[in-house]
Structure 1
Amino acid sequence: MTRITPFASPLLLGFDSMEKTLERIAKASDGYPPYNIERLRGSDDAPDRLRITLAVAGFSEEELDVSVEENQLVIRGRQLEQAERDYLYRGIAARQFQRMFVLADGMHVLGAALRNGLLSVDLIRPEPERMVKKINISVSQ
């Protein structure tokens, strides 16, 4: 049986990589760590920015990794093993995570900051130039 997807339309050329990305995102959504995405309004000469904030309490800067792989922002956390402790109760999970965000073409990561257990990653999408390209039509006889 053949699976038909919305990207199988002959009018959507070159979108097969987007379909694969959407499948990966659907598989990787476990909800940890929680996050916010907010729009930061720019001034007249600066474009709007986006800020992704993840709750990463208990992680140090060395235990976090923020990278851009192809068109994806990947944030990973892995807590290092500490010396043996004798817990009477352990309610704070020490688990690793990987959170991915698909970036649209032209999106750039400005930087990341860790403060009070919150990791903030700032993104910007510069306004693209409006460009019209004239295609010449050749006539053959």
Structure 2
Amino acid sequence: MRTAFDFSPLYRSTVGFDRLFDMLDAAARVEPMTNWPPYNIEKLGDDQYRITMAVAGFGSDEIELTQHESALVVTGQKHPEPEGTQILHRGIATRAFKQTFSLADYVKVTGAKLENGLLTVDLKREIPEELRPRRIEIRSGSAALRQDSAKQIEHEAPREAA
């Protein structure tokens, strides 16, 4: 049994954590877990991931991948059986599915392929250059003062009306 947490006291004393609290609220909601189709999530490197889904019986035209902001949605919808086909035993699942994966900031889909009944989705975290850690040069006090005093602002004289 899950108990709901009340994050409202934290809203009063934090700034900028709205998305985090929304994710915690969503995780706390009781939703039916979908366990079909089965999938694996692998970490291939520091910033590389792979999702592998077992989607036997589905063609690439029956699966749709959509990334919207921080969510990756994988849906599958089988085409109807051709007219006149009689199935004596159905062991391969053909039911529609929708699987949603929450992605961290700056994680993008870099590729997807369907091979041997496995859908492979490659992901990579690409942090923008301006958000990456950078080294700041520290200058000594006297050198910094001399360099700053050497800088002058050139002033252009106002032009007279002709």
TM range (shorter): 0.7 to 0.9
1:7 touches 1:19 (CA, 8 Å); kept in 2?
A: no
Tell me which amino acid in the other structure corresponds to 2:106. G
Gaps of 5+ in 2: 136-162
Matches within 5 A, 1:7-22: 8-9=9-10, 10-21=12-23
Equivalence for 2:54: 55
CA distance in 1, matches of 2:107, 2:15: 22
The structural deviation recorded for 1:13 is 3.4
Give structure 1 regions of 4+ aligned residues with deviation exceeding 3 angstroms.
Answer: 10-22
Q: Match for residue 154 of structure 2?
A: none
Which structure 1 residue ranges, 5 or more long, are not aligned? 42-46, 133-141
Q: Distance in 1 between matches of 2:20 and 2:77?
A: 28
Work out whether residues 67 and 75 of structure 1, in 8 Å CA contact, stay in contact via their aligned partners in 2. yes
1:73, CA displacement in angstroms?
A: 0.5
Alignment check: 8 A CA contact 1:74 1:98 kept: yes
What secondary structure is seen at the aligned counterpart in 2 of 1:27?
coil
Alignment match, 1:76: 75
TM superposition shift of 1:99: 0.5
Q: Whose radius of gyration is greater, 1 or 2? A: 2
Q: Deviations over 1:61-95 (max 9, x none)?
A: 00000110221011000000021421222222210
The aligned counterpart of 1:29 is 33
**Greater relative contact order (Cα < 8 A, sep 6+):** 1
Percent identity over paired residues: 39
Residue pair 2:75, 2:98 contacting (<8 A) in 1 also: yes
Residue 121 (structure 1) aligned with residue 125 (structure 2): no
CA distance in 2, matches of 1:7, 1:33: 36
Shift of 1:104: 0.8
- Structure with bigger helix share is 2
Query: Following TM superposition, by how much is the alpha carbon of 1:5 offset from its aligned partner in structure 2, in angstroms?
Result: 2.5
